[in-house]
Amino acid sequence: MPKRENISMSVIRRLPRYYRFLSELAEQETYRISSGELAKRMNLTASQVRQDFNCFGGFGQQGFGYNTVALKNEIEQILGLRSLRSAILIGVGNLGKAVANHIVFEARGFNLVGAFEKSQNLIGKPLKSLLVKDYNGLEAFCSERVIDVAILCIPEKEAETVSAQLYSLGIKCFWNFSHYDISCKYPDAIVENVHMGDSLMTLSYRIFENSEKNKNS
Amino acid sequence: MPKRENISMSVIRRLPRYYRFLSELAEQETYRISSGELAKRMNLTASQVRQDFNCFGGFGQQGFGYNTVALKNEIEQILGLRSLRSAILIGVGNLGKAVANHIVFEARGFNLVGAFEKSQNLIGKPLKSLLVKDYNGLEAFCSERVIDVAILCIPEKEAETVSAQLYSLGIKCFWNFSHYDISCKYPDAIVENVHMGDSLMTLSYRIFENSEKNKNS
DNA sequence: TAGATTGTTAATCGATTAACAATC
DNA sequence: TAGATTGTTAATCGATTAACAATC
């Protein structure tokens, strides 16, 4: 009995982590956990755990706690992992290859149904159960089926034209690994960025900050 | 003349993005920008831009705006990109290889000085300017030099023991691609997570939410 | 019933936005 | 000087934490 509607992004971003912890508990045959115990393990507060879970309806039992399996299933439902969306990969360089091979798409709500590349020496090569296709065939490919998401593993300088083309083909949803800001150009697009370079820079900041602090004390 | 001290994580996470936009402006020989104009391009508010920049001292000029080059340099300094920290890569599978090849470490404040792997068929292979080393040689390697960061590109089941070993070798800073929560175990460690699976699940949520919304309207 | 733990409301804290005086 | 735009303070909004009555 989910409440849904207007669950904040802060909560959503915590859900996959809850999902991981609950899955692990269920695997270890722990079928019951209190908000306090879960909070301790995840470095959160019990209040926050209860607030989060109550965004989508009461799943605990007073005096008892939460059923790990039921809660895990509920989060699975909330995250939309039950239905598989179709995704295509654009760019099969180092990063694209790694993403395709490393991610278990089916466990995250997606099916990888195509991989496209511009450089001739990669076209035709196998990638998982797929063969890498010529980027020029993209339009024909998309006209024959519904594609929900494009995974962008292309260099920044290509990103503008490629995302424009994908958008014109009706793809409004991007898992974006390139350093290009799609949402600035297409405000109605659904964009999830994985900016590894940015992530590494914030790590640099924290190390730097930490060493400055140690110097001063 | 940075103020520093207690810049919030929300601000820090925006800095790399400012850095990117300012670098681009400087490259295009735009040497001046107002908070309003920058905000428009980045999809922020002018207030937020000014608040952010004022965390580390006034760099604008009233009636004029900000000097893009000076500001970019300032952010570079804040993020600690001027001094290079040494990093080692643990795990040279698909993901590890992609990270090593894809990231320009020197531009993000780091030097990649070693890559380690357990599986014999990968040891000895070239990776960028390095040769992949046997994981068993890690301790000897670390005893001869200071390593600031370990990049974890290993399967989740390895993560607990590997991070424990790294921690015992004095490495307290991790760029973590594995689905294992290092900070739960080592609260004093500096951990930056890149959880691609989690990222993909939040994308699933947003598509699901979007399709539900369309259904109801 | 007594003890435990939730669901939920209220209080606090932090981050974003608005407003405007300072000043280039 | 007049216009533009900052730096900064105050107001608002949202997210986290605390408190406690409800209830299993």
Mean pLDDT over the full length of chain B: 94
DSSP run (H or E) holding A162: helix A156-168
Tell me the CB-side half-sphere exposure of residue B51, using CA atoms within 13 A. Answer: 11
**Averaged pLDDT, B125-147:** 97
Kindly state the tokens that stand for B133: 């080393």
CB distance B197–A148 less than 8 Å? no
Q: Is the CB of A44 under 7 A from strand C?
A: no
Whether A198 contacts B17, CB under 8 Å: yes
Nearest to A80 among B102, B109, B205 (CB): B205
Separation of A79 CA and D23 C1' (Å): 30
Kindly state the tokens that stand for B36: 């309003």
Interface probe for A, chosen from B157, B205, B212, B216 (most Cβ of A below 10 Å), is: B205
Q: Please check whether residue A14 touches B, CB under 8 A.
A: no
Torsion angles phi and psi, residue A201, rounded to 5: -70, -35
Residue at token pair 């080592």: B186
The torsion angle over the Cα atoms of residues B110, B115, B116 and B122, rounded to 10 degrees, is: 150
Question: What pLDDT is attached to residue A3?
Answer: 52
Question: What pLDDT is attached to residue B2?
Answer: 46
pLDDT tens column, A156-211? 999 999 999 999 999 999 999 999 999 999 999 999 999 999 999 999 999 999 88
pLDDT-flagged residues of chain A (< 70): 1-5, 216-217
Q: Is the CB of B85 under 7 A from strand C?
A: no
Kindly state the tokens that stand for A17: 């982590």
Residues comprising chain B, all counted: 217
> Which chain A residues in 149-208 lie under 8 Å from chain B, judged by CB atoms?
149, 173, 175, 179, 181, 183-184, 187, 190, 192, 194-208
The torsion angle over the Cα atoms of residues A148, A153, A156 and A160, rounded to 10 degrees, is: -20
Residue A46's alpha-carbon distances to A37, A53, A121, A143, in angstroms, are 8, 11, 54, 49
DSSP run (H or E) holding A191: strand A190-193
Q: Which positions in chain B touch A105 (Cβ < 8 Å)?
A: 200
pTM of the model: 0.95
Q: Which amino acid is at B89?
A: L
Does residue B214 surpass a pLDDT of 90? no
Residue at token pair 């965004």: A55
Neighbours of B140 (CB within 10 A): 9
CB distance A207–B16 less than 8 Å? no
Residue at token pair 């570079």: B76
Residue A119's alpha-carbon distances to A128, A175, B95, B156, in angstroms, are 19, 21, 21, 33
Question: What pLDDT is attached to residue A217?
Answer: 59
Checking each nucleotide's C1' against the CA of A59, the nearest proves to be C6
pLDDT tens column, B82-96? 999 999 999 999 999
Separation of B184 CA and C16 C1' (Å): 30
CB distance B200–A104 less than 8 Å? no
DSSP run (H or E) holding A69: helix A68-78
Rounded CA gap, B89 and A77, in Å? Answer: 36
Alpha carbon of B201: minimum distance to chain A alpha carbons (Å): 5
CB distance B184–A42 less than 8 Å? yes
Rounded CA gap, B6 and A209, in Å? Answer: 10
pLDDT tens column, B32-73? 999 999 999 999 999 999 999 998 887 899 999 999 999 999
Q: Strand locations in A46-156, DSSP E?
A: 60-61, 65-67, 85-90, 110-117, 126-127, 130-131, 133-134, 149-152
CB distance A184–B148 less than 8 Å? no
Does residue B165 surpass a pLDDT of 60? yes
Q: Which nucleotides of D are covered by protein (CB under 7 A)?
A: 2-9, 14-19, 22-24
Question: What pLDDT is attached to residue B1?
Answer: 40
CB distance B197–A4 less than 8 Å? no
Mapped onto helix, strand or coil, the DSSP state of residue A145 is coil
Q: What is the DSSP string of chain B?
A: ----SS--HHHHHHHHHHHHHHHHHHHTT--EE-HHHHHHHHT--HHHHHHHHHTT---EETTTEEEHHHHHHHHHHHTT-SSPEEEEEE--SHHHHHHHHH--GGGGTEEEEEEEESSTTTTT-EETTEEPEEGGGHHHHHHTS---EEEE-S-HHHHHHHHHHHHHTT--EEEE-SS--HHHH-TTSEEEE--HHHHHHHHHHHHHHHHHHHHH-
Q: Is the CB of A55 under 7 A from strand D?
A: no
Q: Is the CB of A109 under 7 A from strand C?
A: no
